[in-house]
Chain A
Amino acid sequence: MTVLNAVIFLPLVAFLFILVLPRENADAIRRFSLVASVAIFLVSLGLIAPFWFSNPGKFVLETDTPWISSPPIHYHVAIDGISLWLVILTTLLTPMCVLVSWRSIDKRVKEFFAFLLLLEFGLIGVFCALDFFLFYVFWEVSLVPMYFLIGIWGHDRRIYATVKFFLYTFTGSVLMLVGIIYLYNQAGTFDYPKILAGLQSGAINLAYPVQLLLFLAFFIAFAIKVPLFPVHTWLPDAHVEAPTAGSVMLASVMLKMGTYGLLRFCVPLFPAAARNCAGWIVTLAIIGIIYGALVAMVQPNMKKLVAYSSVSHLGFVVLGIFSFTQQGFDGAVYQMLNHGVSTGALFILVGFLYERRHSLEIAAYGGVATPAPHLSVVFMIAMLASIGLPMLNNFIGEYLVLQGAALVYFRWTAFAAVGVILSACYMLWLYQRVFFGRVSDDVRHHMPDLNFREYAIIVPLLLLMVWMGTFTQTFIPAISSSNALILGPIDARRDIHVRASPNPTTPEKELARAR
């Protein structure tokens, strides 16, 4: 029984416990969810222990026990530097989601918190599973609670949005299922490390066309989840219609399932196909960066604006991964975390505004800074982080991604950097329209400043933004060493290499420059 198993299964235990709590006592359910999710977060901090003094890079806290005897499916979980922070991001955001929903969810409280914890279970599992079957199970399990969270507690067009969300993801994942089964039939195991070793040593030999098809089967499933342009259309709907907690979990963690899958499975398993497809994938990513930013600029709805900004930000992550450089990989993973923290914070803040004014339309606001100065300051920090201001988290991630891309093709960087400029445009303009200008009476009377609960939610996230923007050394070494292990074997295959980075520098050196 490792700490990891506790972190995976505690949310499930909490979920089951909520099911037996009496429905009438909503406050008890709220309190229990908060205590449970905070406890899970604290336990999950124990995961850092193996990474404290050294950076193993490889998987630690491994558990591998048979689950289904035939076909041989194992409960195989472990974490490395990439999944470590994603798991902790999940456990960190869940208590915040509980707090965010404290008052705003007043109907069917029991189901809401139960689904939230079930979602946490699925998400953590996705980041730890090393058995393809298990991975698929968690992947789908996380889909169901999110479906209900959007569909029951969402806004007006919630049903359309949630069905769209479910069908998009489900369609992608059945293709992945075909890929998984096919891979099993070739390898005789669902175990990811074994399959990877087999493919790298040549024990499992896949013809290139097969490799390409398998790559695409996985890639489509992940690309829908990321979401990569042009399969991003479910995202704005789902985000806008979801309740605040749903938006936060969706943007901060669920989208990372896609990019995590790309980095963990797609790229290392099918390097040749990945490299050959890199051209058009990066093109799509850059289109996503610019298109997402442009569309965000003209949104009249705050949540939709933040949603499209996610499309733009996630484009950076995909760009980083498909640059096949150490910097690109590190930047991609760091950007996943950054996006989780800063976009999560933005969604939470938009949720605060919504609770006060009951509108998501930007036009319904204006001059909020006058009645609610604290809220405005907090919003500004989150916004600046999202733009990528130096000293705040997003800057590091974007910088590393752009540098990684520049090592391969400078043109990529040039185009992608436009996205950074555009992000400043739409964010600052949003800020201006919402917080400055003339104060209408409606705003003045319905805009109390932050209360204690809201402070408790947002301040940790702000601190984290600064921390991640200044003390990168806390996070990056673990990520880097794991990325190096993924990159190593791919880099070695120079024959299939499009264009290698001219002088691979060490991550430490890059970091020094980044700072």
Chain B
Amino acid sequence: MLANYLPTGDDYLRILPEMIMTVGGTLVLLIEPLVRQSKRTAYTLLSLGVFVAALVAAIEANTMPGLSFSNMLIVDGFATFFRVLVIGIGILSVLSATEYLRREHADSAEYYALLLFSVTGQCVMATANELIMVFIGLEISSIATYVLAGYLRDDKRNNEAALKYFLLGSFATAFLLYGIAWIYGTTGSTNLVSIHNFLLTPGSQRNVTLASVAAALMFVGFAFKVSAAPFQIWAPDVYQGSPAPVTLFMSAGPKAAAFAVFIRVFMTAFLPITNRWEPFVWSSALLTMVIGNFAALAQTNIKRMLAYSSIAHAGYVMVAIAAGSQIGIAAAMFYLAAYALMNIGAFAVVTYFSRQGEKFVNIQDMAGLGLKQPVTAALFAICLLSLIGVPLTAGFFGKFYIFKAALDSHLVWLSVLGLLNSAVAAYYYLRILVVMYMQEPGEAALSAPPMSPGIRMTLWASALGTLILGIFPSLLLNFAQSSSTLVK
């Protein structure tokens, strides 16, 4: 890099969303002393405004695709897709959090600031073209999320969740960093394209082996972040312990961003050594699906059950990566968007329904919701049917497309086992439907308060989004397909 390097206007445009969110996050913190107790909605509105501005900036940045800051980051369709996705997740998270925080008397500016910073980190991950950027983005996102996980600091479960997440997360990040160091030692570069080019003509077998070890180390780091087996142990405890709106965010945003870098690193830098890592991804995918689905069968706590379901869904996305093709990338992109929608819908209901102190988080507490609140139950049912993978929902088409990609790449057995897994999964989602529709209302359903507008909007947006993407998948799929070509 030149010493007197000056970024151009295009460079700034390409990093504009991150800039907006960083400034916005700081601003939210700064206005806290100025806002009266009764005007707390100011945070919500301000952070929503920031997110929307960032969303516009992210779309605008896509009109000027290309590399920036000495190839440190790249704006392409793939990056834009994930930027828009994580910012959208941020918006829905803000909408569903306000009511919860008020209920728990924890309605302060930090929450929104942390959320903004976390999404900033995820946007950096989405645009990273450099292992250093990957690491920086991952850390910005993770540290903010660690704090969010323990946001209600007087709550024992929150503390446990945050500590567990932080310790195990740091450990995994260390693996990732070690992998980066190793790859730098082998190839002399941290740029994804340079690594790719180096590995095309590696020179010696030794270099390939070294790069493979680096890939394995980085795989550990990424697999942890996406909660893929055998590095999924943290997820159930953390998802269960964190505040419900944080779990909502955590299961969608950081996961999507982690998959974005996972795909970008493995499908560009390590593409030449696909045959080395593909078996690992293959077996990890299968293991993730099996562990997630079978463990979820036994859960009674809905947050824990959704945590295991989230693991299982990570497994489906891993199948798409194992396919190792462009269709696989597009399928993973589509699935992550679909998954974010349906999962946010489910967690929005949990957030709403749990009441103060998260009293009602057992599946059994949902009894009779279908009778007492037919609209809420119907929207929740749409999300659950989508998680099962029933046609005309986004979840089905996502799954269909993933397994189509897998069969394209001749992964017949993985597809058969994966789809049979989704039949197992049907059982535990159906249990919620059974309780909700086929049992008499219990204490929780009878005492349910009216739903706050924020959660209502989140729920409607995710349920309708699920349906629309299920009926007209082309709306998103065409963009995913056209942007699944990664710069190599």
Size bin of chain B's contact surface: 35 or more
From B403, B437, B472, B473, contact of A178 by CB (8 A) = B403
Residues 22-41 of chain A, each 1 if its beta carbon lies under 8 Å from chain B, else 0: 01000000000000000000
Inter-subunit contact B474/A181 (CB<8 Å): no
From B50-58, B203-211, B426-434, the one touching the partner chain is: B426-434
The closest CB in chain A to the CB of B404 belongs to A181
Residue A143 CB within 8 A of the other chain: yes
Name A130-187 residues within 8 Å CB distance of B.
Answer: 133, 136-138, 140-141, 143-144, 147-148, 151-152, 158-159, 162-163, 166-167, 170-171, 174-175, 177-178, 181-182, 184-185
Inter-subunit contact A178/B415 (CB<8 Å): yes
Residues 22-42 of chain B, each 1 if its beta carbon lies under 8 Å from chain A, else 0: 000000000000000000000
Residue A71 CB within 8 A of the other chain: yes
Give chain A residues whose Cβ lies under 8 Å from the Cβ of B371.
108
Task: State whether A69 and B385 are in contact (beta carbons under 8 Å apart), knowing that A163-B434, A175-B416, A178-B416 are contacts in the complex.
Answer: no
Give chain A residues whose Cβ lies under 8 Å from the Cβ of B198.
none
Classify the secondary structure of A's interface with B.
helix
Inter-subunit contact A144/B400 (CB<8 Å): no
- Give the docked Cα–Cα distance between A148 and B370 (Å): 11
Name B273-326 residues within 8 Å CB distance of A.
Answer: none
Inter-subunit contact B426/A167 (CB<8 Å): yes
Residue B152 CB within 8 A of the other chain: no
Give chain A residues whose Cβ lies under 8 Å from the Cβ of B392.
137, 141
- Give the docked Cα–Cα distance between A279 and B431 (Å): 40
Task: State whether A167 and B474 are in contact (beta carbons under 8 Å apart), knowing that A178-B416, A182-B412 are contacts in the complex.
Answer: no
Nearest CB of chain B from residue A188's CB, rounded to whole Å: 11
Residue B374 CB within 8 A of the other chain: yes
- Give the docked Cα–Cα distance between A166 and B416 (Å): 19
Residue B438 CB within 8 A of the other chain: yes
Inter-subunit contact B423/A171 (CB<8 Å): yes
The closest CB in chain A to the CB of B401 belongs to A71
Inter-subunit contact A151/B404 (CB<8 Å): no
Inter-subunit contact B408/A174 (CB<8 Å): no
Residue B67 CB within 8 A of the other chain: no
Name A417-453 residues within 8 Å CB distance of B.
Answer: none
- Best-buried of B391, B416, B430, B437 by chain A (most CB within 10 Å): B391
Nearest CB of chain A from residue B466's CB, rounded to whole Å: 14
Task: State whether A185 and B404 are in contact (beta carbons under 8 Å apart), knowing that A148-B437, A159-B434 are contacts in the complex.
Answer: yes
Give chain B residues whose Cβ lies under 8 Å from the Cβ of A140.
390-391, 396
Residue B373 CB within 8 A of the other chain: no
- Give the docked Cα–Cα distance between A277 and B291 (Å): 36
Give chain B residues whose Cβ lies under 8 Å from the Cβ of A143.
390
Residues 260-272 of chain A, each 1 if its beta carbon lies under 8 Å from chain B, else 0: 0000000000000
Nearest CB of chain B from residue A16's CB, rounded to whole Å: 12
Inter-subunit contact A174/B419 (CB<8 Å): yes
Inter-subunit contact A158/B438 (CB<8 Å): yes
Task: State whether A178 and B407 are in contact (beta carbons under 8 Å apart), knowing that A69-B474, A111-B374, A141-B392 are contacts in the complex.
Answer: yes
- Give the docked Cα–Cα distance between A398 and B471 (Å): 42
Nearest CB of chain B from residue A126's CB, rounded to whole Å: 12
Name B388-444 residues within 8 Å CB distance of A.
Answer: 388, 390-392, 396, 400-401, 403-404, 407-408, 412, 415-416, 419-420, 422-423, 426-427, 430-431, 433-434, 437-438
> Can you report 6 A-B residue pairs in the complex whose CB atoms are below 8 A from each other?
A68-B473, A68-B477, A137-B391, A143-B390, A162-B434, A178-B415
3 nearest A-B residue pairs (beta carbon):
A137-B391, A174-B419, A171-B423
Using A174-B420, A181-B400 as known contacts, list a sample of 15 further A-B pairs with CB atoms less than 8 Å apart, ordered by residue number in A.
A23-B374, A70-B481, A140-B391, A140-B396, A141-B392, A148-B437, A151-B433, A151-B434, A163-B427, A166-B426, A167-B426, A170-B426, A174-B423, A178-B403, A185-B407
